[in-house]
């Protein structure tokens, strides 16, 4: 047997022993080592709605007139409208983007957001005088005709 064949045989045997050792001893070694946990979320981020602080006055409110709860939308862009106290700020948060709207003098607001396919939680937060109040509505988006 020549040197090249003998060297290739020894290298193959060494690689095989390393792989066999990793398969046999790997699970016991990895139990003693703590690896960091990674989370890859593909889709809409799960956000908890912001709860209005206890100091918000009782007459401070936000309502969502459109869309209705559990509505089904057939277009990706959705108009969100409602009422709150006059001359405040509204932040409309959707699964893909958000819209900041200045409330008109009569308390009416309207803004557009982009929906993701499936379930969409839309959160509307009203801000005025360092106070805030939040309302959430769920809308389902399907591009199919119904």
Asked if the structure places residue 23 within a domain, the reply is no
Q: Is residue 111 part of a domain?
A: yes
| % residues pLDDT > 70 (the chain) | 78
Q: What is the pLDDT of residues 47-103, one digit of tens each?
A: 454 454 545 456 778 889 988 888 888 888 999 999 988 888 999 999 889 999 998
Average pLDDT over all residues of the chain? 82
- The residue range of the domain holding 77 is 62-141
Within a domain: 54: no
Average pLDDT over residues 95-114: 90
For residue 53, being part of any structural domain is answered with: no
> Which DSSP string corresponds to the chain?
--HHHHHHHHHHHHHHHHHHHHHHHHHHHHHHSPPPP-----SS---PPPPPPTTS-TT--EEEEESPTTEEESSSEEEEEEEESTT-EEEEE-SS-EEEEEPPTTSEEEEEEEPPSEEEEEEEEEEETTEEEEEEEEEEE--S--
- For the segment 35-57, the average pLDDT, to the nearest whole number, is 53
Tokens of 54: 């206890």
pLDDT bracket for residue 37 (50, 70, 90): low
Q: For residue 130, is it within any domain?
A: yes
Domain count for the chain: 1
CATH number of the domain that residue 80 is part of: 2.60.40.10
Residue 22 is predicted with a pLDDT of 83
pTM exceeds 0.85: no
């Amino acid at each position: 047997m020549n040197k090249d064949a003998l060297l290739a045989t020894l290298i193959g045997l060494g690689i095989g022993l390393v792989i066999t050792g990793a398969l046999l001893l790997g699970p016991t070694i990895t139990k003693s080592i703590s690896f960091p946990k990674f989370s890859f979320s593909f889709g809409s981020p799960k956000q908890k709605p912001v709860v209005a602080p206890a100091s918000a006055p009782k007459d401070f409110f936000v309502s969502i007139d459109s869309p209705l709860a559990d509505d089904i939308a057939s277009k990706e862009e959705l108009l969100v409208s409602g009422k709150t106290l006059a001359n405040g700020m509204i932040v409309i948060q959707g699964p893909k983007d958000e819209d900041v709207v200045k409330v008109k003098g009569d308390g009416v607001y309207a803004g557009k957001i982009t929906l993701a396919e499936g379930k969409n939680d839309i959160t509307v937060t009203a801000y005025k005088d360092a106070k805030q109040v939040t309302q959430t509505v769920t809308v389902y988006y399907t591009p199919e005709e119904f």
